[in-house]
């Protein structure tokens, strides 16, 4: 498992693969589709590919490798920030498409499922990217224990950081994992504010769908 091809992909490799999948999806879409709608489908292709590649690492990489590779898997703060902004923008785009094309559905029955998928995948991508960033901050000196206090004595793996990230994204609080670092506290603050905004977009999307079906 440790030497598998997908496990050895770095963030930039996952980004490039996902970008090519998105480009191919966009190229083969019917020319009659709305341009924004085609962009959203391309974004769905990108985010789904990137999420799958990330979760292969999250599920399979052992703690010993996480300690060594946490910084590499994070892909730098600028990379995290860029990915988060892209996901947020895609979420806004999904709501914008649904709001502006409420009474015209050129894409037929695909319209609502595609818009919903774009929103959900954007939400998942944001919190998935934060998993690697929290792991990087925790294991930055290769020993662990930097800024997060997990219950129990076992060294946390990516699933533990996924738990922390998604709980924060769903509830805007950190549950039973305590933050003991100013750096992580600031990241968690930004994460919580962003999660609140994304969840607000989900609510707006739901209201628009109800209006569209009414």
Kindly report each contact of residues 160-167 with a partner whose C-beta sits within 8 Å and lies 24 or more positions away, as own/partner.
161/131, 161/132, 161/134, 161/135, 162/58, 162/127, 162/128, 162/131, 164/134, 165/127, 165/128, 165/130, 165/131, 165/134, 165/191, 166/127
* pLDDT of amino acid 3: 47
* pLDDT of amino acid 1: 42
Helix (H) and strand (E) counts for the chain?
A: 7, 2
pTM recorded for the entire structure: 0.88
> Bridge-partner residues for 178, per DSSP?
149
**Per-residue pLDDT in tens (0 to 9) along the chain, 214 residues:** 444 666 778 888 898 999 999 999 999 998 888 888 888 899 999 999 999 999 999 999 999 889 888 888 887 667 777 887 788 778 777 777 776 766 666 666 787 888 888 888 989 999 999 999 999 999 987 656 678 999 888 899 999 999 999 999 998 888 889 998 888 999 999 999 989 988 988 888 888 777 766 6
> Bridge-partner residues for 179, per DSSP?
148
What three-state secondary structure class fits 179? strand
Residue whose entry in the numeric block shows the structure tokens 């946490």: 70
* pLDDT of amino acid 104: 63
Closest CA to 77 of 144, 137, 19: 137
* pLDDT of amino acid 157: 94
What three-state secondary structure class fits 149? strand
CA angle 146-149-154, nearest 5°?
95
Helix axes 111-138, 63-74, angle to 10 degrees: 110
């Amino acid at each position: 498992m440790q030497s598998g091809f997908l496990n050895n992909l770095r963030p930039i490799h996952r980004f490039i693969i996902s970008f090519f999948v998105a480009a191919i999806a966009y190229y083969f879409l019917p020319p009659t589709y709305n341009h924004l709608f085609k962009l959203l489908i391309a974004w769905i292709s990108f985010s789904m590919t990137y999420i799958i590649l990330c979760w292969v690492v999250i599920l399979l990489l052992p703690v010993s490798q996480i300690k060594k590779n946490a910084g590499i898997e994070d892909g730098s703060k600028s990379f995290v920030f860029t990915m988060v902004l892209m996901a947020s923008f895609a979420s806004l785009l999904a709501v914008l498409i649904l709001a502006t094309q409420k009474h015209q559905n050129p894409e037929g029955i695909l319209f609502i499922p595609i818009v919903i998928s774009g929103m959900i995948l954007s939400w998942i991508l944001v919190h998935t990217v934060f998993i690697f960033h929290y792991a990087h901050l925790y294991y930055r000196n290769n020993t662990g224990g930097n800024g997060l206090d997990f219950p129990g004595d076992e060294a946390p793996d990516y699933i533990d950081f996924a738990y922390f990230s998604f709980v924060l994204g769903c509830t805007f609080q950190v549950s039973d994992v305590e933050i003991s670092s100013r750096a992580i506290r600031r990241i968690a603050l930004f994460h919580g504010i962003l999660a609140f905004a994304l969840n607000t977009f989900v609510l707006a999307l739901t209201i628009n769908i109800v209006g569209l079906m009414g």
